[in-house]
Amino acid sequence: MPKDRAPTRIQQKNRATILDAALDVFSAQGFRGATVDEIAATAGLSKPNLLYYFPSKEAMHEALLERLLDTWLDPLRAMDGDGEPLEEIMGYVRRKLQMSRDFPRESRLFANEVLQGAPRIHDALSVDLKTLVDSKCAVLETWMASGAIARVHPHHLIFSIWSLTQHYADFDVQVRAVLGPEDPFDGAMAFLDTLYRRMLRP
Amino acid sequence: MPKDRAPTRIQQKNRATILDAALDVFSAQGFRGATVDEIAATAGLSKPNLLYYFPSKEAMHEALLERLLDTWLDPLRAMDGDGEPLEEIMGYVRRKLQMSRDFPRESRLFANEVLQGAPRIHDALSVDLKTLVDSKCAVLETWMASGAIARVHPHHLIFSIWSLTQHYADFDVQVRAVLGPEDPFDGAMAFLDTLYRRMLRP
DNA sequence: CGTTGCTTTGACCGGTTGGTCAAATCATTG
DNA sequence: CAATGATTTGACCAACCGGTCAAAGCAACG
């Protein structure tokens, strides 16, 4: 293990390589299904070398989840209470769908974790996530009270955005098996646009 | 292994016990994360006894998926082209949400499998599932052509029903962490009712 | 009751897993 | 170049994994 100094270029590069490979494997196999050997092979490094940069398999997983939770909620944070209500919501939907298209591995890592009971992030969900969601639901409620958008249960509105957008990353195989060669994301964005505009039209 | 006769009462009971325990473990840990020992402990039987009734861990998983695929699509099959269009769709949504409430383990088993690339059911998805979905999409299109419901991309309409309903089983932990003590399913049904009626109103 | 065949399990096996360690190699700096 | 510390790895280990097997237990029936 290196001493407690500023990380060298080699350290930065190798840590990044390892986390990228770990994301590949964890998102495809789940935590217990992933093996350090497979991560090492994907990263093009030896197994002991991985464990030189991270103290354990668990630590790699933690590092990924920590980094993920920060960025995963940015699109929701960016929903601005002072903006045009319907366009703010549509912007959130669009950003979230783009994340499913551009970062499907992150989406599946998260899905795997929650599917299996969120043992490692349960606190973050019921504190940080809940706090953020509750505050955005308050915003949604003022928009509904002002008549800018139609009335619906605000929490379930947010759940619907998560579910509809992440579905295209998490269930990608199924979506493509049913759709055939057609690209899912173009049709999805058009569909979601219609859905939310019709549902929320005052 | 028993000979090729009608299964005894003991066989029926033990097979059922094993599959129930296997569903518990596979749905919570994924295929690779599940261990035969844990399934055996959950079932209250010894490991060699499980492997007396099923030739392998893989066989238990297959038996579950086979049974699941048959029943999982029943709600969609039941959508009747001759019925009242909007009520047929709402009935499908209601049945699917009830399945998430009553059979969350089955939903999570399916989600785990698809998340990890559907290695064991890919053919079933791109043949049986696709055939069924395509035929139901044709029905939806006649309803849209007749003006009974508004025009939307029929495949994405079905994806939306899958995603919105299964979300409450697959992401149950997250939903409850955010919602608190409130029961998710009552609010969900009301929300989905509003969503689809507004989106599909001609 | 005795025999037959279904059921159950303790002990075991080869392969894999996460993780360790000492030794070798490499980069950096004086 | 010499020396110091960062980096890399082959060999190894104990624990665990899926699966086997022979022997024991048990129920059913003549």
Min CA distance, B38 vs chain A (Å)? 14
Residue A3 has pLDDT above 80, yes or no: no
Structure tokens at A188: 């999805």
Please indicate whether, in this complex, the C-beta atoms of B159 and A175 are within 8 angstroms of each other. yes
Average pLDDT of the residues in A128-135: 98
**Helices A130-145 and A154-170, packing angle to 10 deg:** 120
Contact A174 B118 (CB under 8 A): yes
Under 8 Å between Cβ of A110 and A103: no
Amino acid at B181: P
pLDDT at B50 over 60: yes
Count CA within 13 A, CB hemisphere, residue A86: 16
What is the DSSP code (8-state) at residue B6? P
Contacts of B33 in chain A (CB under 8 A): 30-33, 116
Q: Examine the pLDDT at A10 and tell me if it is beyond 90.
A: no
The residue that minimises its CA distance to C1' of D27 is: B10
**pLDDT surpassing 70 at residue A6:** no
Nucleotides of C under 7 A from a protein CB: 5-11, 16-22, 28
Q: How much is the pLDDT for B4?
A: 62
Q: Integer distance in angstroms from CA A110 to C1' C14?
A: 36
Q: Is any atom of strand C within 7 angstroms of residue A48's beta carbon?
A: yes
pLDDT at B1 over 60: no
Q: Which nucleotide is nearest to A32 (CA to C1')?
A: C17
State whether residue B160 sits within 8 Å of chain A by CB. yes
Strands (E), B48-159: none
Distance D27 C1' – B59 CA (angstroms): 28
At B142-166, the pLDDT tens digits run: 999 999 999 999 999 999 999 999 9
pLDDT: which is higher, A8 or B32: B32
State residue B11's pLDDT score.
82
3-state secondary structure at position B25: helix
Cα–Cα distance measured from residue A90 to residue B10, given in angstroms and rounded to the nearest whole number: 57
What pLDDT is stored for residue B176 in this prediction? 98
Average pLDDT over every residue of B107-114: 98
Q: Taking residues A36-42, what's their average pLDDT?
A: 98
* Interface membership of A44 toward B (CB under 8 Å): no
- What are chain B's domains? 1-55 (1.10.10.60), 65-200 (1.10.357.10)
Maximum C-alpha span of chain B: 61
ipTM confidence score: 0.94
- Stretch B31-42: mean pLDDT: 97
Shortest CA distance from A116: residue in chain B: B28
- Rounded to whole angstroms, the distance from the CA of residue B7 to the C1' of nucleotide C1 is 28
Can you give the pLDDT at residue B8? 75
Q: What is the pLDDT at residue B12?
A: 85
CA-to-C1' span, B62 to C6 (A):
25
A197 touches chain B (CB under 8 A): no
pLDDT at A1 over 70: no
Angle at B116 between CA B129 and CA A103, to 5 degrees: 105
Position B26, amino acid:
F
Greatest alpha-carbon span in chain A = 61
Chain B contact present for A157, CB below 8 A: yes
CB of B47 lies under 7 Å from some atom of strand C: yes
For the segment A50-105, what is each residue's pLDDT rounded down to a tens digit? Answer: 999 999 999 999 999 999 998 999 999 999 999 999 999 999 999 999 999 999 99
Contact B21, B56 (CB under 8 A): no
B118: alpha, beta or left? (left if phi > 0; alpha if psi -120 to 50): left
Which residue is closest, via its CA, to the C1' of D5? Answer: A2
Q: Residues 6 or more apart from B26 whose CB is under 8 A from it?
A: B34, B60, B61, B64, B109, B112
Cβ-Cβ pairs closer than 8 A, A with B, add up to 163
Task: Tell me the residue ranges of DSSP E strands in chain A.
Answer: none
Asked if B17 is an interface residue toward chain A (Cβ–Cβ < 8 A), one would say: no
Are residues B162 and A167, on separate chains, in Cβ contact within 8 Å? yes
The integer distance in angstroms from the CA atom of B37 to the C1' atom of D16 is 10
Q: Is A43 on the interface with B (CB under 8 A)?
A: no
CB contact A171 to B (< 8 Å):
yes
